[in-house]
Amino acid sequence: MVSKESEQFLTELRFYLMSKGKNDDEINEITEELEVHLMEAEADGKDVSYIIGDSPKQYMKSIGESMSTDYRQMAGLVPLMILLLGAYVSIGPAIEGNFSLSKGTLWIAITAGVIAVGGYGVLIFRVLPKFLHSKWSAVLLLGAGVAVTGLMVMLLLWNQKQGFEPVFTATPFQNNVIVAVCAVIFIVSAIYTKTWFTVIIPLCISVGPIANRFIPQDVNEDPTYILYTVIAFVIIAAVMIFVFMAKRKKMLNNGGK
Amino acid sequence: MSETTQMLKGILDGCLLAIIKEGEIYGYELAAKLESYGFRSLSEGTIYPLLLRMQKEGLISATLRKSTAGPKRKYYTLTEKGERELKLFIGRWEQVSSSVDNVLNKRGI
Protein backbone atom coordinates (compact mmCIF):
# COMPACT_ATOMS: atom_id res chain seq x y z
CA MET A 1 0.00 0.00 0.00
CA VAL A 2 1.14 3.53 -0.78
CA SER A 3 0.55 6.62 1.39
CA LYS A 4 -2.51 8.84 0.95
CA GLU A 5 -0.40 11.52 -0.74
CA SER A 6 0.96 9.04 -3.27
CA GLU A 7 -2.48 7.63 -3.89
CA GLN A 8 -3.81 11.15 -4.42
CA PHE A 9 -1.01 11.81 -6.91
CA LEU A 10 -1.69 8.56 -8.79
CA THR A 11 -5.41 9.36 -8.99
CA GLU A 12 -4.70 12.86 -10.27
CA LEU A 13 -2.22 11.47 -12.79
CA ARG A 14 -4.78 8.94 -14.03
CA PHE A 15 -7.40 11.69 -14.35
CA TYR A 16 -4.96 14.02 -16.10
CA LEU A 17 -3.89 11.36 -18.62
CA MET A 18 -7.51 10.36 -19.25
CA SER A 19 -8.42 14.00 -19.86
CA LYS A 20 -5.58 14.16 -22.38
CA GLY A 21 -7.07 11.21 -24.27
CA LYS A 22 -4.28 8.71 -23.56
CA ASN A 23 -4.76 4.99 -24.06
CA ASP A 24 -6.29 3.18 -21.07
CA ASP A 25 -3.82 0.28 -21.12
CA GLU A 26 -0.87 2.67 -21.22
CA ILE A 27 -2.37 4.71 -18.36
CA ASN A 28 -2.71 1.52 -16.30
CA GLU A 29 0.83 0.48 -17.14
CA ILE A 30 2.46 3.77 -16.12
CA THR A 31 0.37 4.25 -12.96
CA GLU A 32 1.09 0.67 -11.85
CA GLU A 33 4.80 1.13 -12.49
CA LEU A 34 4.81 4.38 -10.52
CA GLU A 35 2.82 2.73 -7.74
CA VAL A 36 5.49 0.04 -7.41
CA HIS A 37 8.16 2.74 -7.31
CA LEU A 38 6.30 4.86 -4.74
CA MET A 39 5.68 1.78 -2.59
CA GLU A 40 9.35 0.78 -2.52
CA ALA A 41 10.52 4.39 -2.08
CA GLU A 42 8.16 4.96 0.83
CA ALA A 43 9.34 1.73 2.41
CA ASP A 44 12.85 3.27 2.21
CA GLY A 45 11.58 6.40 3.97
CA LYS A 46 11.27 8.74 0.94
CA ASP A 47 8.20 10.84 0.29
CA VAL A 48 6.30 11.55 -2.92
CA SER A 49 8.09 14.87 -3.69
CA TYR A 50 11.42 13.01 -3.74
CA ILE A 51 10.09 10.98 -6.66
CA ILE A 52 8.05 13.41 -8.71
CA GLY A 53 9.99 16.60 -7.96
CA ASP A 54 8.70 19.96 -6.78
CA SER A 55 5.93 20.31 -9.32
CA PRO A 56 3.50 17.39 -9.75
CA LYS A 57 1.86 19.34 -12.59
CA GLN A 58 5.12 19.53 -14.53
CA TYR A 59 5.79 15.85 -13.88
CA MET A 60 2.33 14.82 -15.09
CA LYS A 61 2.88 16.95 -18.19
CA SER A 62 6.20 15.24 -18.94
CA ILE A 63 4.58 11.81 -18.63
CA GLY A 64 1.65 12.91 -20.80
CA GLU A 65 4.05 14.15 -23.49
CA SER A 66 5.76 10.74 -23.64
CA MET A 67 2.47 8.97 -24.32
CA SER A 68 0.53 8.95 -27.58
CA THR A 69 -3.06 10.16 -27.78
CA ASP A 70 -5.62 7.44 -28.49
CA TYR A 71 -8.14 9.06 -30.85
CA ARG A 72 -10.11 5.83 -31.34
CA GLN A 73 -10.73 5.55 -27.63
CA MET A 74 -11.69 9.24 -27.46
CA ALA A 75 -14.24 8.65 -30.22
CA GLY A 76 -15.79 5.92 -28.07
CA LEU A 77 -16.34 8.44 -25.29
CA VAL A 78 -18.75 10.52 -27.39
CA PRO A 79 -21.53 7.87 -27.69
CA LEU A 80 -20.96 7.04 -24.04
CA MET A 81 -21.47 10.70 -23.10
CA ILE A 82 -24.66 10.89 -25.18
CA LEU A 83 -26.01 7.74 -23.47
CA LEU A 84 -25.02 9.15 -20.09
CA LEU A 85 -26.73 12.47 -20.72
CA GLY A 86 -29.86 10.66 -21.91
CA ALA A 87 -29.81 8.50 -18.78
CA TYR A 88 -29.31 11.54 -16.51
CA VAL A 89 -32.39 13.24 -17.96
CA SER A 90 -34.56 10.09 -18.12
CA ILE A 91 -33.97 8.51 -14.72
CA GLY A 92 -35.85 11.14 -12.68
CA PRO A 93 -39.18 11.02 -14.57
CA ALA A 94 -38.89 7.20 -14.91
CA ILE A 95 -38.50 6.75 -11.12
CA GLU A 96 -41.49 9.03 -10.56
CA GLY A 97 -43.39 6.82 -12.99
CA ASN A 98 -44.21 9.44 -15.63
CA PHE A 99 -41.61 9.15 -18.36
CA SER A 100 -42.93 10.49 -21.64
CA LEU A 101 -41.53 11.80 -24.90
CA SER A 102 -42.85 14.47 -27.22
CA LYS A 103 -41.45 15.80 -30.50
CA GLY A 104 -40.55 19.08 -28.79
CA THR A 105 -38.76 17.28 -25.96
CA LEU A 106 -36.81 15.16 -28.46
CA TRP A 107 -35.63 18.24 -30.36
CA ILE A 108 -34.62 19.96 -27.13
CA ALA A 109 -32.84 16.80 -25.97
CA ILE A 110 -30.88 16.52 -29.24
CA THR A 111 -29.87 20.21 -29.23
CA ALA A 112 -29.02 20.22 -25.53
CA GLY A 113 -27.15 16.92 -25.99
CA VAL A 114 -24.95 18.28 -28.78
CA ILE A 115 -24.21 21.49 -26.83
CA ALA A 116 -23.57 19.54 -23.62
CA VAL A 117 -21.22 17.01 -25.29
CA GLY A 118 -19.30 19.87 -26.93
CA GLY A 119 -19.12 21.87 -23.70
CA TYR A 120 -18.18 18.83 -21.64
CA GLY A 121 -15.48 17.90 -24.12
CA VAL A 122 -13.96 21.39 -24.05
CA LEU A 123 -14.11 21.46 -20.24
CA ILE A 124 -12.52 18.03 -19.75
CA PHE A 125 -9.90 18.08 -22.50
CA ARG A 126 -8.97 21.76 -22.75
CA VAL A 127 -9.93 23.75 -19.68
CA LEU A 128 -9.68 21.38 -16.72
CA PRO A 129 -6.10 20.10 -17.27
CA LYS A 130 -4.86 23.70 -17.05
CA PHE A 131 -6.48 24.18 -13.67
CA LEU A 132 -5.93 20.69 -12.25
CA HIS A 133 -3.48 21.86 -9.65
CA SER A 134 -4.93 25.21 -8.70
CA LYS A 135 -7.76 26.07 -6.35
CA TRP A 136 -9.73 27.08 -9.44
CA SER A 137 -10.32 23.44 -10.40
CA ALA A 138 -12.76 23.03 -7.49
CA VAL A 139 -14.48 26.35 -8.26
CA LEU A 140 -14.63 25.45 -11.95
CA LEU A 141 -16.10 21.99 -11.34
CA LEU A 142 -18.60 23.30 -8.81
CA GLY A 143 -19.52 26.24 -11.04
CA ALA A 144 -19.96 24.02 -14.10
CA GLY A 145 -22.10 21.60 -12.06
CA VAL A 146 -24.33 24.36 -10.74
CA ALA A 147 -24.63 25.99 -14.18
CA VAL A 148 -25.53 22.69 -15.90
CA THR A 149 -28.07 21.75 -13.21
CA GLY A 150 -29.60 25.23 -13.38
CA LEU A 151 -29.85 25.11 -17.18
CA MET A 152 -31.40 21.63 -17.08
CA VAL A 153 -34.03 22.76 -14.55
CA MET A 154 -34.83 25.87 -16.61
CA LEU A 155 -35.09 23.75 -19.75
CA LEU A 156 -37.36 21.22 -18.03
CA LEU A 157 -39.63 23.95 -16.62
CA TRP A 158 -39.83 25.65 -20.00
CA ASN A 159 -40.49 22.29 -21.62
CA GLN A 160 -43.35 21.55 -19.24
CA LYS A 161 -44.96 24.94 -19.96
CA GLN A 162 -44.95 24.32 -23.70
CA GLY A 163 -47.47 21.50 -23.29
CA PHE A 164 -46.01 19.42 -26.12
CA GLU A 165 -48.17 16.52 -27.25
CA PRO A 166 -46.49 13.31 -25.99
CA VAL A 167 -45.74 10.78 -28.73
CA PHE A 168 -44.77 8.13 -26.19
CA THR A 169 -45.92 7.67 -22.60
CA ALA A 170 -44.32 4.84 -20.66
CA THR A 171 -46.40 2.24 -18.83
CA PRO A 172 -45.40 1.48 -15.20
CA PHE A 173 -43.50 -1.59 -16.47
CA GLN A 174 -41.69 0.44 -19.15
CA ASN A 175 -40.77 3.04 -16.52
CA ASN A 176 -39.10 0.34 -14.45
CA VAL A 177 -37.29 -0.96 -17.54
CA ILE A 178 -36.03 2.59 -18.25
CA VAL A 179 -34.75 2.90 -14.66
CA ALA A 180 -32.94 -0.46 -15.04
CA VAL A 181 -31.41 0.56 -18.41
CA CYS A 182 -30.25 3.88 -16.93
CA ALA A 183 -28.67 2.04 -13.99
CA VAL A 184 -26.81 -0.26 -16.41
CA ILE A 185 -25.55 2.79 -18.38
CA PHE A 186 -24.29 4.43 -15.18
CA ILE A 187 -22.52 1.28 -14.00
CA VAL A 188 -20.95 0.57 -17.41
CA SER A 189 -19.75 4.20 -17.63
CA ALA A 190 -18.27 3.97 -14.16
CA ILE A 191 -16.36 0.81 -15.10
CA TYR A 192 -15.30 2.24 -18.48
CA THR A 193 -14.06 5.57 -17.13
CA LYS A 194 -12.89 4.03 -13.82
CA THR A 195 -14.50 6.88 -11.90
CA TRP A 196 -17.26 6.94 -9.36
CA PHE A 197 -18.97 10.16 -10.37
CA THR A 198 -21.16 8.47 -13.00
CA VAL A 199 -22.72 6.44 -10.17
CA ILE A 200 -22.73 9.11 -7.46
CA ILE A 201 -24.36 11.87 -9.55
CA PRO A 202 -27.36 9.72 -10.59
CA LEU A 203 -27.79 8.60 -6.98
CA CYS A 204 -28.02 12.28 -6.00
CA ILE A 205 -30.38 13.00 -8.90
CA SER A 206 -32.56 10.03 -7.93
CA VAL A 207 -33.07 11.01 -4.29
CA GLY A 208 -35.73 13.61 -5.15
CA PRO A 209 -37.84 11.43 -7.48
CA ILE A 210 -37.54 8.40 -5.16
CA ALA A 211 -38.77 10.54 -2.25
CA ASN A 212 -41.53 11.91 -4.46
CA ARG A 213 -42.69 8.42 -5.36
CA PHE A 214 -42.61 6.86 -1.90
CA ILE A 215 -43.21 9.69 0.60
CA PRO A 216 -46.90 10.49 1.20
CA GLN A 217 -48.12 13.77 -0.30
CA ASP A 218 -49.07 15.38 3.07
CA VAL A 219 -45.51 14.85 4.41
CA ASN A 220 -44.12 16.12 1.12
CA GLU A 221 -45.95 19.45 1.45
CA ASP A 222 -45.37 19.97 5.20
CA PRO A 223 -43.25 23.17 5.54
CA THR A 224 -41.56 21.83 8.70
CA TYR A 225 -40.19 18.81 6.83
CA ILE A 226 -39.14 21.02 3.92
CA LEU A 227 -37.25 23.26 6.37
CA TYR A 228 -35.57 20.21 7.98
CA THR A 229 -34.56 18.92 4.55
CA VAL A 230 -33.10 22.28 3.52
CA ILE A 231 -31.12 22.51 6.80
CA ALA A 232 -29.87 18.93 6.38
CA PHE A 233 -28.73 19.62 2.81
CA VAL A 234 -26.95 22.84 3.82
CA ILE A 235 -25.11 21.00 6.62
CA ILE A 236 -24.14 18.10 4.32
CA ALA A 237 -22.93 20.53 1.64
CA ALA A 238 -20.93 22.53 4.20
CA VAL A 239 -19.30 19.37 5.59
CA MET A 240 -18.46 18.11 2.08
CA ILE A 241 -16.90 21.45 1.08
CA PHE A 242 -14.93 21.54 4.35
CA VAL A 243 -13.63 17.96 3.92
CA PHE A 244 -12.77 18.62 0.27
CA MET A 245 -10.87 21.83 1.08
CA ALA A 246 -9.03 20.21 4.00
CA LYS A 247 -7.98 17.27 1.82
CA ARG A 248 -6.83 19.60 -0.94
CA LYS A 249 -4.86 21.77 1.48
CA LYS A 250 -3.18 18.69 2.92
CA MET A 251 -2.27 17.47 -0.55
CA LEU A 252 -0.91 20.85 -1.62
CA ASN A 253 1.23 20.95 1.51
CA ASN A 254 2.75 17.66 0.47
CA GLY A 255 4.56 18.62 -2.67
CA GLY A 256 1.97 20.49 -4.75
CA LYS A 257 2.25 24.09 -5.96
CA MET B 1 18.29 21.52 -9.58
CA SER B 2 16.15 22.31 -12.61
CA GLU B 3 19.21 23.74 -14.40
CA THR B 4 21.00 20.43 -13.86
CA THR B 5 17.98 18.53 -15.18
CA GLN B 6 17.89 20.81 -18.21
CA MET B 7 21.60 20.18 -18.82
CA LEU B 8 21.12 16.44 -18.52
CA LYS B 9 18.42 16.23 -21.17
CA GLY B 10 19.59 13.84 -23.82
CA ILE B 11 22.51 12.66 -21.72
CA LEU B 12 20.21 10.79 -19.34
CA ASP B 13 18.85 8.69 -22.21
CA GLY B 14 22.35 7.39 -22.93
CA CYS B 15 23.04 6.75 -19.25
CA LEU B 16 19.82 4.76 -18.89
CA LEU B 17 20.72 2.69 -21.96
CA ALA B 18 24.16 2.01 -20.50
CA ILE B 19 22.73 0.88 -17.14
CA ILE B 20 20.09 -1.31 -18.78
CA LYS B 21 22.85 -2.91 -20.88
CA GLU B 22 24.42 -4.21 -17.65
CA GLY B 23 21.41 -6.50 -17.21
CA GLU B 24 17.65 -6.68 -16.80
CA ILE B 25 16.50 -4.02 -14.36
CA TYR B 26 13.25 -2.43 -13.06
CA GLY B 27 12.42 1.24 -12.45
CA TYR B 28 13.19 1.60 -8.76
CA GLU B 29 16.49 -0.26 -9.08
CA LEU B 30 17.39 1.86 -12.09
CA ALA B 31 16.72 5.10 -10.17
CA ALA B 32 18.81 3.81 -7.25
CA LYS B 33 21.71 2.93 -9.60
CA LEU B 34 21.58 6.38 -11.21
CA GLU B 35 21.78 7.89 -7.73
CA SER B 36 24.69 5.68 -6.80
CA TYR B 37 26.53 6.92 -9.91
CA GLY B 38 26.17 10.49 -8.63
CA PHE B 39 22.90 11.74 -10.15
CA ARG B 40 21.63 12.88 -6.76
CA SER B 41 19.82 16.05 -7.77
CA LEU B 42 17.40 14.19 -10.06
CA SER B 43 13.90 13.32 -8.90
CA GLU B 44 13.57 9.57 -9.17
CA GLY B 45 10.43 9.83 -11.29
CA THR B 46 12.32 11.63 -14.05
CA ILE B 47 13.27 8.29 -15.59
CA TYR B 48 9.72 7.08 -16.32
CA PRO B 49 8.78 9.47 -19.13
CA LEU B 50 12.20 8.68 -20.68
CA LEU B 51 11.68 4.93 -20.33
CA LEU B 52 8.24 5.27 -21.91
CA ARG B 53 9.67 7.14 -24.87
CA MET B 54 12.62 4.77 -25.31
CA GLN B 55 10.25 1.80 -25.18
CA LYS B 56 8.11 3.41 -27.88
CA GLU B 57 11.19 4.04 -30.01
CA GLY B 58 12.10 0.35 -29.70
CA LEU B 59 15.37 0.98 -27.84
CA ILE B 60 14.31 -1.06 -24.81
CA SER B 61 11.71 -3.75 -24.19
CA ALA B 62 9.78 -4.49 -21.01
CA THR B 63 8.38 -7.57 -19.29
CA LEU B 64 6.17 -7.73 -16.21
CA ARG B 65 7.36 -10.09 -13.45
CA LYS B 66 5.87 -10.97 -10.10
CA SER B 67 7.72 -9.65 -7.07
CA THR B 68 7.75 -10.57 -3.43
CA ALA B 69 7.12 -6.92 -2.49
CA GLY B 70 3.61 -6.73 -3.97
CA PRO B 71 2.49 -5.71 -7.47
CA LYS B 72 4.29 -6.82 -10.61
CA ARG B 73 7.54 -5.08 -11.53
CA LYS B 74 8.32 -3.97 -15.04
CA TYR B 75 11.79 -5.16 -16.07
CA TYR B 76 13.65 -3.50 -18.93
CA THR B 77 16.18 -4.98 -21.35
CA LEU B 78 18.12 -3.44 -24.22
CA THR B 79 17.04 -4.27 -27.79
CA GLU B 80 19.45 -4.49 -30.74
CA LYS B 81 18.36 -1.02 -31.79
CA GLY B 82 19.08 0.14 -28.24
CA GLU B 83 22.59 -1.31 -28.39
CA ARG B 84 23.26 0.56 -31.65
CA GLU B 85 21.89 3.78 -30.11
CA LEU B 86 24.13 3.29 -27.06
CA LYS B 87 27.20 2.98 -29.27
CA LEU B 88 26.23 6.17 -31.12
CA PHE B 89 25.67 7.93 -27.78
CA ILE B 90 29.10 6.89 -26.49
CA GLY B 91 30.73 8.29 -29.65
CA ARG B 92 28.80 11.57 -29.42
CA TRP B 93 29.49 11.89 -25.69
CA GLU B 94 33.24 11.37 -26.06
CA GLN B 95 33.34 14.12 -28.66
CA VAL B 96 31.19 16.54 -26.62
CA SER B 97 32.96 15.86 -23.36
CA SER B 98 36.45 16.37 -24.85
CA SER B 99 35.30 19.61 -26.54
CA VAL B 100 33.83 20.93 -23.29
CA ASP B 101 37.04 19.95 -21.50
CA ASN B 102 39.05 21.84 -24.10
CA VAL B 103 36.93 24.96 -23.72
CA LEU B 104 37.04 24.88 -19.94
CA ASN B 105 40.79 24.29 -19.90
CA LYS B 106 41.23 27.10 -22.47
CA ARG B 107 43.32 24.88 -24.72
CA GLY B 108 41.50 25.86 -27.87
CA ILE B 109 40.87 23.51 -30.79
Secondary structure element (H or E) that encloses residue A41, with its range? helix A24-43
Between vectors from CA A197 to CA A191 and to CA A200, what angle results, nearest 5°? 105
Q: How confident is the model at residue A165 (pLDDT cuts 50, 70, 90)?
A: confident
Q: What is the pLDDT of residue A25?
A: 82
Best B43, B47, B64, B73 member to test A by mutation, with max A CBs in 10 Å, is B43
Most confident option among A37-41, A234-238, B82-86: B82-86
The verdict on a CB contact (< 8 Å) between A33 and B45 is no
Whether A220 shows a pLDDT value over 80: the answer reads no
A31 contacts in chain B (CB < 8 Å)? none
Q: How far apart are CA B21 and CA A174, in angstroms?
A: 65
Beta bridge partners of B64: B74
Average pLDDT, chain A: 76
The verdict on a CB contact (< 8 Å) between B44 and A36 is no
Q: What is the pLDDT of residue A229?
A: 76
The verdict on a CB contact (< 8 Å) between A32 and B43 is no
Most confident option among A201-210, B4-13, B22-31: B22-31
Give the long-range contacts of residues A205-210, CB within 8 A, separation 24 or more: A205/A88, A205/A91, A205/A92, A206/A91, A206/A92, A206/A95, A208/A92, A209/A91, A209/A92, A209/A93, A209/A95, A209/A96, A210/A95
Q: Which of A57-61, A177-181, B1-5 has the lowest mean pLDDT?
A: B1-5
Domain boundaries, chain A: 4-69, 73-215, 216-257
pLDDT tens figures, B68-106: 767 788 999 999 999 999 999 999 999 999 999 888 887
Q: CB pairs below 8 Å between A and B: how many?
A: 64
Q: Cβ of B9 under 8 Å from any chain A Cβ?
A: no
Residue B58, φ and ψ in degrees, nearest 5: 80, 20
Name the residue among B43, B49, B67 with its Cβ closest to that of A65: B49
Q: What is the pLDDT of residue A257?
A: 35
Q: Which residues of A touch B (CB under 8 A)?
A: 29-30, 32-37, 39-41, 43, 46, 49-54, 59, 62-63, 65-68
- Residue B92 distance to chain A (closest CA, Å): 24
What pTM value is reported for the model?
Answer: 0.56
Q: How confident is the model at residue A219 (pLDDT cuts 50, 70, 90)?
A: low
Q: Report the complex ipTM.
A: 0.83
pLDDT tens figures, A66-88: 787 777 766 677 777 778 778 87
Q: Which of A70-84, A170-184, A231-245, B64-78 has the lowest mean pLDDT?
A: A70-84
The verdict on a CB contact (< 8 Å) between B71 and A67 is no
Q: Cβ of B72 under 8 Å from any chain A Cβ?
A: yes
The verdict on a CB contact (< 8 Å) between A36 and B72 is yes
pLDDT tens figures, B26-73: 999 999 999 899 888 778 888 888 898 899 899 999 998 887 767 788
The verdict on a CB contact (< 8 Å) between B44 and A50 is yes
Q: What is the pLDDT of residue B98?
A: 92
Q: What type of residue is A207?
A: V
Name the residue among A35, A36, A66 with its Cβ closest to that of B49: A66
Q: What is the pLDDT of residue A53?
A: 81
Q: Give helix A4-19 / helix A223-253 axis angle, nearest 10°.
A: 100
Domains in chain B with CATH codes: 2-104 (1.10.10.10)
Name the residue among A36, A41, A68 with its Cβ closest to that of B71: A36
pLDDT tens figures, A115-146: 777 776 776 666 666 665 555 665 666 666 66
Q: How confident is the model at residue A237 (pLDDT cuts 50, 70, 90)?
A: confident
Name the residue among B48, B67, B70 with its Cβ closest to that of A33: B48
B78 neighbors B86 (Cβ within 8 angstroms): yes
State mean pLDDT over A221-233: 76
